Chains A and B, each alone.
Chain A
């Protein structure tokens, strides 16, 4: 795997991935913008530093599993995987197109390194619990990392999975919460009560770390700590939906919308300007 150790290199890669996201969504003409941009730093950290994985042996049995339970933010995963060497970057332009491996929501059948089929919420979290149990049965040392969203915590089955992981003391399971405070119909606090999330997870016998999901130092430290946890652990990553594109940031209207050509142009020019400032 291509490992990036310096914060500057990670920031540059995240900026590249954000540009990829804008280009692929504009080309697709539909899809989700805010979520993928918000999680670009976390995915960069995962694929370019903390996950044990090998794009040349994508199904090696000792790989860390990464489940994207909030499947709709898959453009960020696809872009990170392309940049990590899983497939050519130009294939990103097939997002959401007929016969593409890059389905509108992740499909293991179409592309096995995606690990699971997700899109309908509250399911990847359950699959992650099953994979963590399988690893325990086989006495394997890899980790199961599951990205889940705040809106996904409206689903009852999410809490069933959280309860199961607590019951089975799955210390090989790490959730990372895409806490961007938006969902389709508005800000999460106005749609469905979620808080106090930290206290809820603690009550379910999990460890909790809260971080700024745009600070690489915090992301890397949190995952390092998470790997040593004696219980299942969630890293609540506070992120800004639409991060890096001024007119998308914190706008729930951008949850499920792709930029048109002009909007994409503006977004890219902002991201390119931002890139020049990265130190």
Chain B
């Protein structure tokens, strides 16, 4: 088991060896966001910004507008939420090539409590024009995602997580192309982030199709609609507020293109201190609840 943030820390160093345009910025969270190695290997390309996230975003925009590929990292509660206006105007409005890679998303952040568990970041970032939103499911996918976004011009948000989580079967990664992990009957489960693991386990139990929808924007309309047409019911699951995230995106998409019975599983309210397992249980982010929801007649 490895964390998605570890995948980022490994891949950015690998990429930066060849690509001299890559720079990294941290707001006093260098070890936590896994930029410690980058800082050691490329000190001249690493910028410590202090606990001042808004300026960090502006600095990244300035670096990007003059040709660099800045990776900005903090906890997902601070970036994007704390400095949303800077992301909107300085980054998105000019389509600046800034990569925002935030860690510690979701209730699985655990003991730090609700202040440090970002549950609104997907909704916020999905709403911004020009911003791509990527949520890798495991260590390997985080690495592939970081590589892919480096090659893509323009702003991208990558949502990463703190704890070590299970690795899923190896998947290809293309921005905007959802991965179908298994094909089943009647029900399709759509998930993003490390909770894809639970989705897959539940899918095996109820013989459901399971889709890893790692890109929330642009969302893979073709794949989602294709499997909605084959299903009597869709179940979404995410470690995020139930409003505005993955479930919201799927509801928007299917509401317009192929209305079908939909059940959304996600957080509804603030988290609290506890272990990732306890907190997942609090919001029904468990194999048993996904299984139960798939089997519900309604």
Chain A interface (Cβ < 8 Å from any Cβ of B): 65, 107-109, 115-120, 122-135, 137-138, 156-157, 160-161, 163-164, 167-168
**Residues of B contacting A164 with CB < 8 Å?**
49-50, 52, 55, 59
Q: Within the assembled complex, what's the spacing in Å between the Cα atoms of A170 and B85? A: 25
B270 touches A (CB below 8 Å): no
Given contacts A108-B94, A137-B45, is CB(A122)–CB(B62) below 8 Å? no
Distance of A120 Cα from B87 Cα, bound (Å):
11
- Asked whether any CB of chain A lies closer than 8 Å to the CB of B44, the reply is yes
Contact A126 B89 (CB under 8 A): no
B45, B61, B66, B67: the one within 8 Å of A126 (CB): B61
A157 CA to B52 CA, complexed, in Å = 8
Residues of chain B lying within 8 A (CB to CB) of residue A125: 58
Cβ–Cβ contact B44 & A133, under 8 A: no
A160 surroundings in chain B (CB, below 8 A): 50, 52, 54-55
How close is A245's CB to chain B, nearest CB, in angstroms? Answer: 31
C-alpha gap A131/B47 in the complex (Å): 13
B95:A126 contact, CB within 8 angstroms: no
Least CB distance from B48 to A in Å reads 8
Shortest Cβ gap from B273 to chain A (Å) = 29
Q: Is the CB of B23 within 8 A of A127?
A: no
- Do the beta carbons of B68 and A127 come within 8 Å of each other? no
Contact of A133 with B67 at beta-carbon distance under 8 Å, contacts A126-B57, A126-B61, A160-B55 already known:
no
The answer to whether A127 and B61 touch across the interface, beta carbons within 8 angstroms, is: yes
- Chain A residues closer than 8 Å to B95, beta-carbon distance: 109
Which residues of chain A are near B56, meaning CB under 8 Å? 126
When the two chains form their complex, are residues B45 and A109 in contact, meaning their CB atoms are under 8 A apart? Answer: no
Assess whether B65 is interfacial by the CB under 8 Å rule. yes
In the complex, the chain A residue whose C-beta lies closest to that of B27 is A160
Which residues of chain A have C-beta atoms less than 8 A from B68's C-beta? Answer: 134, 137
B222 to chain A, nearest CB (A): 29
In the complex with contacts A129-B55, A130-B63, A116-B90 CB distance below 8 A: yes
* Cβ of B149 under 8 Å from chain A: no
Complex contacts, A130 vs chain B, CB 8 Å: 58-66, 70
| A126–B55 touching, CB < 8 Å | yes
Offer 23 A-B interface pairs, CB within 8 angstroms, sorted by A. Answer: A108-B93, A108-B94, A109-B93, A116-B65, A123-B58, A126-B62, A127-B62, A127-B90, A129-B55, A129-B58, A130-B60, A130-B63, A130-B64, A130-B66, A131-B62, A134-B67, A134-B68, A137-B68, A164-B50, A164-B52, A164-B55, A164-B59, A167-B50
